[in-house]
Every structure is written in structure tokens, then in C-alpha cells.
Amino acid sequence: MTRPHVFFHKFLTLSLLAWALPAWAADSPLTLIRSTTERARAALQDPAYQGDDRRQACVDKVKEILLPQFDSPEIAKRTLGPSWRDRTDAQRKEFTQLFIQLIEKTYSGALDRYNSDVQFFYDQERVDGDFAEVDTRIFAPAQNKTFSVNYHLHNVDGKWLIYDIVAENVSLVRNYRNQFNRILSKSSYEDLVQTIQAKLKQLSAPSSS
């Protein structure tokens, strides 16, 4: 009489596990950072994307992988600091778009120097309710140097999104916020927008070096 009972329990437990495990795995911040990095890495090493003529296609592909993992409006809000509150919805949208373009430019520059022998280490994650941090390291054999990269994420409607990257102990958000605040305190928001636009134009021009 007990046998069917035990069987039923086992079945229930296993099916629960089977249902819960992949969901948990997909949701863990560390797993998300790892899978995103590995996907971007695979695209960078894909033979289909090698060669100068395929460079833009490669950058676009990596962008397509990375961008959905970032909470762009949240990053823009945090970099603008106190001034965000005084902005209209249209201005917030405009600023978010400009800032993301700036980040994209920064990243695509870094991609050019990507080397396939770089090693990634995913050390640990800390989760506190809707906020999480993931500690990783990147080892570059060419320079014989290890860089620390720490991701800050928050949970938006059940999905973990990145809102800051701390590279070698320098937070990207804080660093840009100081730059933007300095411009804002000396002139105006309009001036800041113009400065960023000028920077974007300069970055789009072929590099002199």
C-alpha cells in the first residue's frame, strides 16, 4: 500500500525540481552575467564575423546580445543625478538615448581590442531582495594582468537588469555622474546635451591613432 504513495511523492518532488531548477538557473544574476558574456564571446569568435568588412556586423550582433541586459533608463537616471528630477519626460528619453549611444561607442572601441585568449572568472553573487551584485574577473595574458569587473543588477518585473558596472573599483555610473554634474553646475542641461553630442560626433570620426 505504501509503494504507490512513495512513488507519487517522488514524482511530485522530481517534477517540482524539474520545473523549478531551470527557472532558478535562468534567473540567477551570476548565471545571467555568465551566459551573456559567453554569448558575446561566441559572437566575437564566430568565423562568420572575422575580417574588417564584417566588423560592423559583429559589433551589431554583440550589441543585440548585451543591450537587452541593461536597464538603460535607470542607468541614465543614476548618471544624471539630482538633475533627473527636473527633466521632462521628453528630455529624459532624449538623455537616455544619448547616453546609451555613448556607452555603445565606448564598448565597440573595447571590442576592437578583444583577444580570444582572455579568460573570464565568475566569482560570486550577492542578492538582497530586488538588488544584486556579481563579482567577476578578467585575465588578460597579453598584459599578464587581472581586472576586476563587478556588475550591479536589479530585478524589474522578474528579470535581472544591469544598472551599473564597476571596473577596477571605478563605478561607471558614478564616474559619468561626476563628469555630468560638473558640466551641469557650470552651465545648463542643454549645454550638457550639446557636449555629449559633440563627443559622439568626435567618436564617430575615424580615430587619428
Partner 1 sequence: MSTKLKVAIFIGVLSTGLASQSVLAQTGTLEQDETEHAPLADPLEPFNQKMFWFNLRVDEYVLRPVATGYSKVVPEPARQSVGRFLKNLGVVERFANNLFQGKLPGAGREIGRFAINTTLGGVGLFDVADQWFGLKESPKDFGQTLGFYGVSSGPYLVLPFYGPSTVRDTVGMAVDSAMNPMNYLLSTVEVIAIRGGLTVTNAVNYRSLNLQLFEDVDRYAVDLYGAVQDGYLQRREKAIQEALQE
Which stretches of the chain bind partner 1, using CB under 8 A? 77-78, 80-82, 84-85, 102, 105-106, 109-110, 113, 126, 128-133, 143-144, 152, 168-171, 173-183, 185, 195-196, 199, 203, 207, 209
Identify which of residues 58 and 80 has a Cβ nearer to partner 1 in the complex: 80
| Length of the chain as a residue count | 209
Identify which of residues 45 and 175 has a Cβ nearer to partner 1 in the complex: 175
Distance CA 209, CA 143 (A): 20
Q: How far is the CB of 167 from partner 1 (least distance, A)?
A: 10
Q: How far is the CB of 122 from partner 1 (least distance, A)?
A: 17
Identify which of residues 57 and 84 has a Cβ nearer to partner 1 in the complex: 84
Q: How far is the CB of 72 from partner 1 (least distance, A)?
A: 15
Identify which of residues 54 and 72 has a Cβ nearer to partner 1 in the complex: 72
Residue 54: partners with Cβ closer than 8 Å, 6 or more residues away: 48
Q: How far is the CB of 47 from partner 1 (least distance, A)?
A: 27
